[in-house]
């Protein structure tokens, strides 16, 4: 079987970079899992989650909408406004 260590170390480094941006550990881990360990997509998700949270939307609704809209900010905002 292939060695998973390089992948695991990459995951840890990505999580560390996201944590240093001020995101919570649980949210970082969840975002990384949701986006198949894509740091770029996880970072987009976390950024939008924080933005929409600051606007007063409920976190569970934000997560659902961002997943449906694939992190597309305008689509997600439109969807949240109509809920």
The pLDDT score that the predictor gives to residue 80 is 97
* pLDDT tier, 9 (very low <50, low <70, confident <90, very high otherwise): very high
Range of 45's domain?
4-82
How large is the average pLDDT for residues 38-49? 97
pLDDT of residue 4: 86
Concatenating the DSSP letter of every residue in 30-55 gives HHHHHTTT-HHHHHHHHHHHHHHHHT
Output b/e per residue, 15-32; b: 16+ Cβ within 10 A: beebeeeebeeebbebbb
- Kindly report the average pLDDT of the chain as a whole number: 94
pTM for the whole structure: 0.89
What Å distances lie between residue 77 and 21, 27, 39, 80, CA to CA? 23, 20, 22, 5
d(CA 27, CA 17): 13
CATH code for the domain of 48: 1.20.120.1920
């Amino acid at each position: 079987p292939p060695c998973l260590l390089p992948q695991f170390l990459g995951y840890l480094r990505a999580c560390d970079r996201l944590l240093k941006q001020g995101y919570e550990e649980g949210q970082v881990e969840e975002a990384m899992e949701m986006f198949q360990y894509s740091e770029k997509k996880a970072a987009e998700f976390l950024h939008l989650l924080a933005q929409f949270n600051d606007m007063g939307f409920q976190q569970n609704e934000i997560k659902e909408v961002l997943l449906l809209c694939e992190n597309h900010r305008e689509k997600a905002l439109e969807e949240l406004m109509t809920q």
